[in-house]
């Protein structure tokens, strides 16, 4: 299967290892991976802050680039950015042509874990990682894309992993895009509930499907000199140790 | 947490546009924090248990939403039907455009009947229009009879939750308040406190000339109003005094009596985690024969107060489906941290952040739509499936790009944030051009390398925080992500070359 990678600007610039490991895992699952270097951002920061004109400009660009691709699927290592692509149609409520184009691109766009499980039907990628890990449900993956069992199935298949659930796995980490810097005190107060339960779980790594949540959680863990590592699912699935 | 702390007794909160400062105040209030934690755990667990007793909760939610959508699509017709049937049963209907008109109507009704003492039962509609202040100004003695509402009335405060208005107060604070205001002996015995309240309130009921209540549902088919409660004070408010005045938002109407079956399953479970509230008062008109019990007069004031503006726009219309259960407050990570007062409005939490700007004008509440991480927990628990995140996004776009549709008349000019506008323009300009995007990324990483040391901004932090506030806001509490030596696309290019 041919896959076009939508790596997301956050991963491209701040967490590139998520991109490289995602490519590795997809190839291991038998996919041929392409990467269109014209791609930048889906426009979510603008959309979520109320700048719809700006978001629309980036959405159009995204659609033009990815509809040219002959790949069978567009795959992204981010639930949040995938959900944004699915939201494109709302930006073109009064423009049927663009709405249709937005919908057909959205139909082909899959989140990484969901693509592995629901499209490829693969759950064992031959990965190994020793130690206890837990999972943080990123909100848009969980509530916009209904991802819940997929990442858990993938994690459980990693050799050497002991998987534990957080009591508040499905509660927000407090990131929320510009919310994290508009109201940093509230954002961090929310985050600290998450951090507390991660620390209590006694894990080696907290795994999630969105680099944004991982920056928030990881940034706080690192500030508190915690040994717990914030890790993307792609990084875990590419791990051989 | 090392946020700037305020003294815990600084309980005076500003209006919605002071949300940022209000939130800091709330975050520093330890007592509030533990009260909220209690609320979240108790109500969350009770709700879970209560909804598990319903066979098809999802189906029930869909059904409720369909009823609401149908009603809102033909609101004029259902309101007329409700008004006709209620009047036929002996009620008098009054139409009020806004809060001032509601207050004027009620004050006129009371004065004409020489009614000087009023008992009130808990009602968000009357809180919304600050009826108590208007009655006080008209020298009408008004006593709240819901225990929580009475407590905050004694304390001269406003509700901090739609369902549990005094949730922010501790037992100790309530005991101290009772010692000061009604002269009881100091005690921490809840039974003693409630019986003291009961003693005072029973007396007020006996003396009252009129009772004022809200309405949960108004049935068009029969002209019936339904009010739910647990304390029995609503039953007394609506049956003991000779006059009963009910204030009802125009969105409270539902078409058929049978529809109550759906909403009675949803509301108590979502609100308090009960299968059913202790009392349900169904009131259809006035008493029919002299020997019957109940008030001689029933007045229903149908209140618009901004609702028809919400109705006019297809996106904002769903705001009116809300049945005021408060479940979204309990589920919201932001509300869980700061409670209700920080929102500066009688409607707090996610639904408050949606309704308040529409009620008071978006320019007076520009922060509220941004007071959310858009996590969607509110949408998940909403019994009528209101897409609150979508509404918040819609309001954000109205703040940035100006009014769309029916809300324009309420809008004052929203002050533009020039720096933010410029930043987003630049971002779109650069991010639409791969070359600029790459240079931007390089510049960003250079900036990061220069100013970030081990996740923190170093010596120049003061300056950095001033010229790039978001960066300072991030690194004050969280390390900046480590600098990747090469971007993904640089690595991709390199590996393609090797091959």
Using one digit for the tens of pLDDT, what is the confidence trace for A84-137?
999 999 999 999 999 999 999 999 999 999 999 999 999 999 999 999 999 999
Q: Which residues on neighbouring strands pair with residue A134, listed in sequence order? A: A164, A206
Q: Rounded distance, CA B305 to CA B116, Å?
A: 26
B39/B116 same-domain check? no
With tokens 């409005």, the residue in question is: B345
Dihedral sign for Cα atoms in the order B257, B259, B264, B267: negative
The contacts of residue B59 (CB under 8 Å, 6+ apart) are none
For chain B, the three-class secondary structure string (H helix, E strand, C coil) is CCCCCCCCCCCCCCCHHHHHHHHHHHHCCHHHHHHHHHHHHHHHHHHHHHHHCCCCHHHHHHHHHHHHHHHHHCHHHHHHHHHHHHHHCCCEEEEECCHHHHHHHHHHHHHHCCCCEEEECCCHHHHHCCHHHHHHHCCCEEEECCHHHHHHHHCCCCCCCCCCCCCCCCHHHHHHHHHHHHCCCCCCCHHHHHHHHHHHHHHHHHHCCEEEECCCEEECCCCEEEEEECCCHHHHHHHCCCEEEEEEEHHHEECCCCHHHHHHHHHHHHHCCCCCCCEEEEECCCCCCCCCCCCCEEEEEEECCCHHHHHHCCCHHHHHHCCCCCHHHHHCHHHHHHCCHHHCCCCCHHHHHHHHHHHHCHHHCCCHHHCCCCCCHHHHHCCCCCCHHHHHHHHHHHHHHCCCHHHHHHCCCCCCCHHHHHHHHHHHHHHCCHHHHHHHHHHHHHHHHHHEECCEECCCHHHHHHHCHHHHHHHCCCCCCCCCCCCHHHHHHHHHHHC
Q: Rounded distance, CA B20 to CA B367, Å?
A: 8
DSSP assignment letter at A141: I
B294/B344 same-domain check? no
A5 φ/ψ angles, rounded to the nearest 5 degrees = -85, 125
Burial of B131 (0-12, 13-18, 19+ CB in 10 A): buried
Q: Rounded distance, CA A32 to CA A38, Å?
A: 19
Q: Which residues on neighbouring strands pair with residue B25, listed in sequence order? A: none
In a domain, B8, yes or no: no
State the Cα angle at A193 between A46 and B11, rounded to 5°: 85
How would residue B445 be classed by pLDDT, with cut points 50, 70 and 90? confident
B354/B469 same-domain check? no
Count of domains for chain B: 3
In a domain, B325, yes or no: no
How would residue A211 be classed by pLDDT, with cut points 50, 70 and 90? very high
Token digits for B87? Answer: 């009047």
With beta carbons less than 8 A apart as the criterion, state whether B333 and A171 touch. Answer: yes
B123/B215 same-domain check? yes
B298/B386 same-domain check? no
pLDDT at B291: 86
Of A16, A35, A58, the CB nearest to B484: A16
Is the confidence at residue A191, as pLDDT, over 70? yes
The percent of residues above 90 in pLDDT, for chain A, comes to 99
Of A17, A45, A219, the CB nearest to B479: A219
Q: Range with the lowest mean pLDDT among A171-185, B17-31, B402-416?
A: B402-416
B79/B116 same-domain check? yes
B404/B429 same-domain check? no
A190 vs B434: CB contact, 8 Å cut-off? no
Q: What is the per-residue pLDDT across B201-252, written as a single tens digit (0 to 9) for each?
A: 999 999 999 999 999 999 999 999 999 999 999 999 999 999 999 999 999 9
Q: What is the mean pLDDT of residues B426-446?
A: 87
Is the confidence at residue B408, as pLDDT, over 60? no
With tokens 């499209």, the residue in question is: A119
Q: Rounded distance, CA A76 to CA A59, Å?
A: 15
Residue B58 CB coordination number (10 Å): 10
Is the confidence at residue B462, as pLDDT, over 70? no
Distances (CA, A) of B185 to A66, B121, B151, B176: 74, 27, 17, 10
Strands A73-76 and A128-136: unpaired
Q: What is the mean pLDDT of residues B377-403?
A: 95
pLDDT at B414: 65
* Cα maximum dimension of chain B: 98
Question: Which residues in chain B have their CB less than 8 angstroms from residue A7's CB?
Answer: 488-489
In a domain, B3, yes or no: no
Is the confidence at residue B1, as pLDDT, over 70? no
Where does A124-237 sit in CATH, by number? 3.40.50
How would residue B453 be classed by pLDDT, with cut points 50, 70 and 90? confident
In a domain, B262, yes or no: yes
Q: Which of residues B483 and A218 earns the better pLDDT score?
A: A218
Of B27, B486, B488, the CB nearest to A189: B27
Mutating which of A188, A191, A210, A211 best tests the B interface, going by the most B Cβ atoms within 10 A? A188
Mutating which of B334, B342, B478, B479 best tests the A interface, going by the most A Cβ atoms within 10 A? B478
Q: What is the per-residue pLDDT across A2-12, written as a single tens digit (0 to 9) for each?
A: 999 999 999 99
Average pLDDT over all residues of chain A: 97
Token digits for B400? Answer: 């940035």
B1 vs A189: CB contact, 8 Å cut-off? yes
Average pLDDT over all residues of chain B: 91
Q: What is the per-residue pLDDT across B155-212, written as a single tens digit (0 to 9) for each?
A: 999 999 999 999 999 999 999 999 999 999 999 999 999 999 999 999 999 999 999 9
Q: Which of B134, B159, B133, B135 is nearest to B146 (CA)?
A: B159
The percent of residues above 70 in pLDDT, for chain A, comes to 100
B91/B221 same-domain check? yes
A13 vs B376: CB contact, 8 Å cut-off? no
B461/B341 same-domain check? no
The contacts of residue B323 (CB under 8 Å, 6+ apart) are B64, B216, B263, B266, B267, B270, B383, B384
B153/B67 same-domain check? yes
Q: What is the CATH number of the domain that holds B82?
A: 3.40.50.10420
Question: Which residues in chain B have their CB less than 8 angstroms from residue A44's CB?
Answer: none
Report the length, in residues, of chain A: 241
Q: Which of B411, B376, B377 is nearest to B390 (CA)?
A: B376
Question: Which residues in chain A have their CB less than 8 angstroms from residue B5's CB?
Answer: none
Q: Rounded distance, CA A112 to CA A7, Å?
A: 10
Is the confidence at residue B36, as pLDDT, over 90? yes
Per-residue burial over B5-24, b if 16 or more Cβ lie within 10 Å, else e, is: eeeeeebebeebeebbebbb
Residue where a domain terminates, one of B242, B270, B305: B305
Is the confidence at residue B485, as pLDDT, over 90? no
DSSP assignment letter at A32: E
Q: Which domain holds residue B441?
A: 423-498
Is the confidence at residue B486, as pLDDT, over 60? yes
pLDDT at B458: 64
Q: Rounded distance, CA B206 to CA B117, Å?
A: 10
Distances (CA, A) of B344 to A160, B128, B158, B164, B326: 51, 12, 9, 17, 17
Is the confidence at residue B114, as pLDDT, over 80? yes
pLDDT at B4: 38
B81/B200 same-domain check? yes
pLDDT at B497: 76
Strands B141-144 and B253-254: unpaired
Token digits for B233? Answer: 């004070």
Question: Which residues in chain A have their CB less than 8 angstroms from residue B372's CB?
Answer: 176, 179
Q: Rounded distance, CA A83 to CA A80, Å?
A: 5
Q: What is the per-residue pLDDT across A25-52, written as a single tens digit (0 to 9) for each?
A: 999 999 999 999 999 999 999 999 999 9
Is this structure's pTM higher than 0.90? yes
A24 touches chain B (CB under 8 A): no
In a domain, B156, yes or no: yes
State the Cα angle at B487 between B483 and B489, rounded to 5°: 175
A197 φ/ψ angles, rounded to the nearest 5 degrees = -75, -30
Question: Quick one: closest CA in A to B19, which residue?
Answer: A183
ipTM for the predicted complex comes to: 0.96
How would residue B348 be classed by pLDDT, with cut points 50, 70 and 90? very high
pLDDT at B447: 80
pLDDT at B499: 57
How would residue B280 be classed by pLDDT, with cut points 50, 70 and 90? very high
Residue A213, SS3 per DSSP:
helix
Q: Which of B59, B415, B351, B105 is nearest to B248 (CA)?
A: B105
Is the confidence at residue B439, as pLDDT, over 50? yes
Question: Which residues in chain A have their CB less than 8 angstroms from residue B477's CB?
Answer: 184, 188, 220, 223
B276/B370 same-domain check? no
Strands A128-136 and A229-232: unpaired
With beta carbons less than 8 A apart as the criterion, state whether B222 and B257 touch. Answer: yes
For A129, the enclosing helix (H) or strand (E) is strand A128-136
CA atoms within 13 A on the CB side of B188: 4
Q: Rounded distance, CA B118 to CA A241, Å?
A: 74
């Amino acid at each position: 299967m041919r896959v076009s990678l939508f790596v997301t600007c956050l991963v491209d610039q701040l967490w590139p290892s998520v991109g490289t490991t995602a490519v590795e895992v997809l190839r291991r699952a038998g996919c041929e991976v392409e990467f269109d270097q014209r791609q930048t951002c889906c426009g979510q920061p603008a959309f979520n802050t109320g700048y719809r004109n700006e978001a629309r400009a980036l959405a159009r660009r995204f659609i033009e680039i990815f509809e040219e691709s002959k790949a069978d699927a567009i795959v992204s290592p981010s639930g949040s950015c995938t959900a944004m692509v699915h939201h494109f149609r709302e930006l073109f409520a009064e423009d049927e042509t663009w709405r249709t184009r937005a919908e057909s691109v959205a139909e082909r766009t899959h989140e990484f874990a969901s693509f592995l499980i629901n499209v490829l039907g693969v759950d064992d990628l031959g990965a190994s990682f020793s130690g206890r890990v837990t999972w943080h449900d990123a909100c848009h993956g969980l509530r916009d894309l209904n991802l819940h069992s997929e990442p858990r199935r993938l994690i459980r298949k990693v050799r050497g992993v002991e998987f534990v659930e957080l009591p508040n796995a499905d509660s927000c980490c407090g990131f929320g895009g510009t919310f994290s810097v508009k109201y940093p005190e509230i954002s961090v107060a929310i985050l600290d509930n998450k951090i507390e339960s991660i620390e209590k779980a006694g894990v080696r790594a907290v795994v999630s499907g969105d680099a944004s949540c991982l920056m928030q959680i990881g940034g706080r863990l690192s500030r508190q000199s915690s040994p717990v590592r914030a890790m993307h699912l792609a990084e875990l699935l590419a791990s051989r140790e | 947490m090392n946020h700037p702390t305020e003294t815990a007794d600084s309980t005076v909160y500003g209006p919605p546009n002071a949300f940022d400062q209000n939130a800091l105040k709330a975050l520093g209030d330890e007592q509030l924090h533990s009260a909220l934690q209690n609320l979240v755990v108790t109500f969350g667990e009770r709700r879970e248990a209560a909804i598990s007793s319903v066979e098809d909760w999802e189906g029930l939610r869909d059904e409720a939403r369909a009823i609401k959508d149908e009603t809102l699509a033909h609101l004029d017709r259902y309101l007329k039907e409700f008004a006709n049937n209620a009047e036929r049963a002996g009620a008098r209907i009054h139409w009020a455009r806004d809060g001032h008109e509601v207050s004027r109507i009620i004050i006129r009704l009371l004065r004409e009947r020489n009614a000087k003492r009023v008992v009130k039962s808990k009602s968000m509609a009357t809180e919304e229009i600050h009826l108590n202040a208007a009655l006080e100004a008209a020298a009408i003695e008004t006593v709240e009879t819901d225990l929580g509402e009475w407590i905050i009335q004694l304390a001269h405060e406003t509700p901090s939750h739609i369902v549990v208005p005094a949730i922010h107060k501790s037992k100790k604070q309530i005991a101290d308040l009772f010692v000061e205001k009604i002269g009881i002996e100091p005690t921490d015995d809840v039974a003693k406190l409630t019986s003291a309240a009961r003693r005072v309130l029973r007396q007020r009921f006996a003396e009252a000339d009129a009772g004022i209540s809200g309405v949960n549902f108004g049935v068009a088919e029969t002209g019936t109003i339904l009010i739910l409660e647990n304390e029995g004070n609503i039953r007394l408010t609506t049956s003991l005094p000779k006059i009963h005045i009910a204030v009802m938002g125009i969105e409270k109407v539902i078409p058929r009596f049978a529809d109550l079956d759906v909403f009675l399953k949803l509301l108590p479970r979502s609100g308090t985690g009960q299968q059913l509230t202790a009392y349900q008062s169904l009131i259809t008109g006035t008493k029919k024969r002299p020997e019957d019990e109940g008030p001689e007069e029933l007045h229903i004031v149908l209140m618009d107060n901004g609702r028809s503006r919400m109705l006019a726009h297809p996106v904002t219309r769903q705001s009116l489906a809300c049945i005021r259960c408060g479940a979204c407050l309990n589920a919201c990570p932001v509300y869980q941290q700061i409670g209700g007062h920080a929102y500066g409005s009688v409607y707090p939490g996610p639904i408050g952040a949606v309704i308040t700007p529409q009620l008071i004008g978006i320019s007076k509440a520009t922060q509220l739509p941004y007071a959310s991480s858009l996590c969607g927990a509110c949408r998940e628990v909403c019994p009528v499936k209101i897409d609150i995140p979508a509404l918040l996004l819609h309001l954000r776009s109205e703040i940035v790009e100006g009014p769309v549709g029916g809300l324009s008349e309420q809008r004052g000019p929203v002050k533009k944030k020039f720096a933010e506008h410029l930043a987003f323009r630049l971002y779109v300009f650069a991010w639409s051009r791969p070359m600029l995007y790459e240079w931007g990324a390089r510049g960003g990483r250079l900036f990061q390398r220069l100013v970030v040391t081990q996740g923190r901004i170093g010596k120049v932090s003061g300056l950095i925080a001033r010229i790039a506030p978001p960066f300072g806001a991030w690194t004050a509490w969280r390390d900046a992500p480590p600098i990747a030596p090469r971007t993904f696309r640089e690595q991709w290019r390199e590996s393609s070359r090797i091959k």
